Amino acid sequence: MSESKDFLRTIVEEDLKSGKYNEVHTRFPPEPNGFPHIGHAKSICINFGIAEDYHGHCNLRMDDTDPTKEDTKYVEALKDAVEWLGFDWGNHVYYTSDYFPRLYDYAVELIKMGKAYVDSLNEEEIREYRGTVTEPGRRSKYADRTIEENLDLFERMKKGEFKDGEHVLRAKIDMSAANMKMRDPLLYRIRNVHHYRAGDTWHVYPMYDFAHCLSDYMEGITHSICTLEFENNRDIYDWVLNTLGLNSTRPYQHEFARLGINYTVMSKRKLLELVEGGQVDGWDDPRMPTIAGYKRRGYTPESILNFCDTIGIAKANSMVDVAQLEFCIRDDLNTKVPRVLCVLDPLKVRIENYEGSEEIDAPYYPHDVPKEGSRKLPFSKEIYIERDDFMENPPKDYYRLTPEQPVRLRHAYIITCKEVIKDANGNIVEIKAEYHPDSKSGSDSSGIKVKSAIQWVDAKTAKSIEVRLYDRLFSSEAPEGLEDLNPNSLQVINNALIEPAVITEKPDERFQFERQGYFYADPIDYSDEHPVFNKIVGLKDSWSKKAKVIKSEPKPQTKKVQVDGEIAPMSEAEEARFNKYTIELKLNSEVANTLARDEKLFHFYEEALLTLNSPISIANIVANEVARELKEKQIDELKFTATQIAQLVKMVDDETISNKIAKQVFEEMIESGENPTQIVEAKGLIQISDPAIISPIIDEVIAKNPDNVAKFKAGNSKLLGFFVGQVLKSTGGKANPQVVNELVAKKLK
RNA sequence: UGGGGUAUGGCCAAGCGGUAAGGCAACGGUUUUUGGUACCGUUAUUCGGGGGUUCGAAUCCCUCUACCCCAUCCA
């Protein structure tokens, strides 16, 4: 868990602390209609993670209420994903389909309560009757059916007496609800099809909104965590549970923003399209953002977990940079995997002054990775280096081999280029070089300075391998469809050369090919005869970045244009009040505006004025503090009165208390409805303005914070607030802040 | 246009009236036989805009703006 809590954990902690629940119980409720992707990983981490953190439970539940889309292969993929990520769902996987009988009973109960009815409008009519976001809907004539009729119909729906779409069961809520979801939502529809688990027993299937809340309830879920698009569904969630009277210990829904990653599509529909259209090689194609894809690509569960942890949980729609994910996998693999030498695009180098062969002992791990292990690196006259590690006419910053610049062969000798052999077309086909016998790695006495060490393989002993180089699937940052596909997302190299130990000793399944990236022995296509490696992710590469930077153009600066809308005009009465407030009572226009436009506020204000003639002070507190309370409440719901507010203001006016204390007192009044004078008296909140009392406190604060004093004196004037705050804190807020301010400023000058 | 949400550096994200956390990215430097890693440093006088309240506002009030979700017999 990171040091700052996310809002969900904050809620859970509060609920536990308040005793609302004794134990947290979450659930991860995917629909088995596709392979889980990294967005599901986020949800898995949240639900299982919270359960783990607070010693509760998390159920894995297949939300399988739509028989036309779901399949066993997807439930297997879901289970694999959760398991691979390292979470434990206990010994039971839950299925909404297991609740079909109980769900049916609940539906019958709703019908008996007169809260649900069988509607026989067709699909199009239902849509029409629903109205639009701005116009209310109207209720179907079938809503008047008697309970008996509804019961009979629903039972016959269940028995399969009707065709698909002939009838539906709907909740009787409100066809003119502002929340469209509440306009008599569908509870059950007829589906005369086979369900992958329930078989052919059912002809009616519950809808999400009906099944989900009840499933949560039946499993004893406390926190039903879902994504933002279900915010509107929360009202139904609560309606169903409340209407059925299921409110002893019951779950509540909380929503978070789903994960978005740039250069990636995350909708199951689009992912399915890619699979079915053959743009990728299945759900586990290493370019897919599916868990199966990442797994096949070579990502580790730890890296995904860590990614989910670093991106945070919030309610703002956001788009995470893929670089963040790539960082996580590099960071994980860096300390774990052996380094080996592999040449992807071989260029032959003939070392003219070397005869025979030898085996060089080379550690698998660099000095900064505390792991043991080494292998023998065969070396002889003929080797291969990476083609782009040699340049005939290099730019100034080029550190590798050139006709003038020697280079070290990693773990081996320094070589110098003697001759460049080209074919008829001018392509370099071979380098003739010389090695420096006294430059061997570990016992170098040559004194030659090189700028870099490059990877190489011995020609005779190197193994040929297939390497699959993956790049992002989409070239657009926010891909829409197939037109945004990156045509070069897969590059297959059939004859890369790798040092033999990787194949013969198999020290690991993941490797860093030095200076290139991290690679993974493909779990499916790899064989000893034909080794295949997937590129997981490249190393950070400040060279290719530098080389590219020349052609990158300065990005066009788009300044946000702020459009100011028109302010709604005032009614005549409002304007009259506004004028009275500004002219007669001398309120500033903003406060006058707030008061004049709000029915509740001006009533409250004018009533307070009756007790105390201090129009400006009262206006300020009413427009700023009371307004907050009156946002969601009526005046008669408040525990405090206008008269009490006037009393409070009076104490501020005559400087008995400071504004700061007034706010504190006001908070008390909201809770208890006690008189402000009593609160002040009981708590001894009378303001301290005597410099003789305040001064020593300031001295103490100054003595305790020498660093900040220095910073302040160096010109950081913001720190004044810090000192004032400290003094106020140690006086329980009672010190007169104005006096403190002046004194602090004087003392620190 | 009705309702429900959300706005803090290039990307995430803490913060809940008293010094604008942290990570990624970027840039500079040190170490380095990986142009990797590690380490050090730089990068928001300002929190979508404008007002107001307050000694003091990212935090409270008013207002405007932008974006997301809702009119599947999907979940």
Residue A562 lies in a domain: no
* Rounded percentage of chain A residues whose pLDDT exceeds 70: 98
pLDDT (average), residues A343-347: 98
Residue A1 lies in a domain: no
* Rounded percentage of chain A residues whose pLDDT exceeds 90: 92
Give the separation between CA A184 and CA A519, rounded to whole angstroms: 55
Quick one: pLDDT band at residue A553, thresholds 50, 70, 90? very low
pLDDT in tens, A147-183: 999 999 999 999 999 999 999 999 999 999 999 999 9
pLDDT for the residue numbered A560: 61
Q: Same structural domain for residues A651 and A740?
A: no
- Considering only residues 636-695 of chain A, list those whose CB is below 7 Å from strand B: 658-660, 663
Strand B reaches within 7 A of the A444 CB: yes
Residue A654 lies in a domain: yes
Quick one: pLDDT band at residue A562, thresholds 50, 70, 90? confident
Q: Same structural domain for residues A641 and A698?
A: no
pLDDT for the residue numbered A598: 94
Contact A439, A448 (CB under 8 A): yes
pLDDT for the residue numbered A555: 44
- A328, closest nucleotide (Cα–C1'): B24
Strand B reaches within 7 A of the A11 CB: no
Q: Same structural domain for residues A454 and A422?
A: yes
Whether the predicted pLDDT of A748 surpasses 90: no
- A128, closest nucleotide (Cα–C1'): B71
Residue A554 lies in a domain: no
Look at residues A683, A716, A737 and tell me which one is the last residue of a structural domain: A683
The CATH number of whichever domain residue A382 belongs to comes to: 2.40.240.10
Contact A60, A66 (CB under 8 A): no
Whether the predicted pLDDT of A746 surpasses 80: yes
Give the separation between CA A703 and CA A19, rounded to whole angstroms: 43
| SS3 call for A278 | coil
Quick one: pLDDT band at residue A707, thresholds 50, 70, 90? confident
pLDDT for the residue numbered A557: 45
Whether the predicted pLDDT of A552 surpasses 80: no
Q: Same structural domain for residues A281 and A203?
A: no
Residue A325 lies in a domain: no
pLDDT for the residue numbered A556: 44
Whether the predicted pLDDT of A75 surpasses 70: yes
pLDDT for the residue numbered A1: 40
pLDDT in tens, A278-297: 999 999 999 999 999 999 99
Q: Same structural domain for residues A81 and A179?
A: no
CA neighbor of A638 nearest in space, from A601, A613, A592, A680: A601
Look at residues A529, A546, A563 and tell me which one is the last residue of a structural domain: A546
Q: Which nucleotides of B are covered by protein (CB under 7 A)?
A: 1-8, 10-27, 32-38, 45-46, 48-57, 60-75
Look at residues A510, A528, A546 and tell me which one is the last residue of a structural domain: A546
CA of A621 to C1' of B51 (A): 17
Range of the domain at A609: 572-683
Strand B reaches within 7 A of the A440 CB: yes
pLDDT for the residue numbered A715: 79
- Considering only residues 360-419 of chain A, list those whose CB is below 7 Å from strand B: 366-369, 397-400, 408, 410-411
CA of A116 to C1' of B30 (A): 73
The CATH number of whichever domain residue A148 belongs to comes to: 3.90.800.10
- Considering only residues 257-316 of chain A, list those whose CB is below 7 Å from strand B: 257, 310-316
Q: What is the rounded end-to-end Cα distance, in angstroms, of chain A?
A: 44
pLDDT for the residue numbered A549: 55
In this structure, the strands spanning A374-380 and A456-458 are unpaired
Active site residue A258: yes
Residue A442 lies in a domain: yes
Q: Is the pTM of this model over 0.90?
A: yes
pLDDT (average), residues A529-535: 98
pLDDT (average), residues A102-129: 98
Q: Same structural domain for residues A487 and A359?
A: yes
pLDDT for the residue numbered A544: 84
Q: Specify the range with the lowest mean pLDDT, choosing from A17-31, A278-292, A541-555, A696-710.
A: A541-555
DSSP A226-272: EEGGGGGGHHHHHHHHHHTT--SS--EEEEEPPP-BTT----HHHHH
The CATH number of whichever domain residue A695 belongs to comes to: 1.10.10.410
Strand B reaches within 7 A of the A631 CB: yes
Whether the predicted pLDDT of A551 surpasses 60: no
Q: Same structural domain for residues A487 and A355?
A: yes
Q: Same structural domain for residues A475 and A346?
A: yes
pLDDT (average), residues A533-541: 97
Q: Same structural domain for residues A232 and A373?
A: no
Quick one: pLDDT band at residue A567, thresholds 50, 70, 90? confident
What angle do helix axes A38-53 and A301-311 make, rounded to 10 degrees? 80
Residue A327 lies in a domain: no
Q: Same structural domain for residues A13 and A92?
A: yes
Residue A129 lies in a domain: yes
- Considering only residues 165-204 of chain A, list those whose CB is below 7 Å from strand B: 165, 168, 178-181, 186, 189-190
pLDDT for the residue numbered A568: 85
Whether the predicted pLDDT of A3 surpasses 90: no
Strand B reaches within 7 A of the A593 CB: yes
Whether the predicted pLDDT of A561 surpasses 90: no
- ipTM for the complex? 0.97
The alpha carbon torsion through A703, A705, A707, A713 (nearest 10 deg) reads -70
Q: Which residue is it, tokens 């009840």?
A: A214
Contact A63, A30 (CB under 8 A): yes
Q: Same structural domain for residues A169 and A304?
A: no
pLDDT in tens, A213-243: 999 999 999 999 999 999 999 999 999 999 9
Residue predicted with more confidence, A564 or A487: A487
Whether the predicted pLDDT of A267 surpasses 60: yes
Q: What is the mean pLDDT of chain A?
A: 95
If one counts the domains in chain A, the total is: 5
Q: Same structural domain for residues A162 and A185?
A: yes
| SS3 call for A396 | coil
Structure tokens at A271: 């992912």
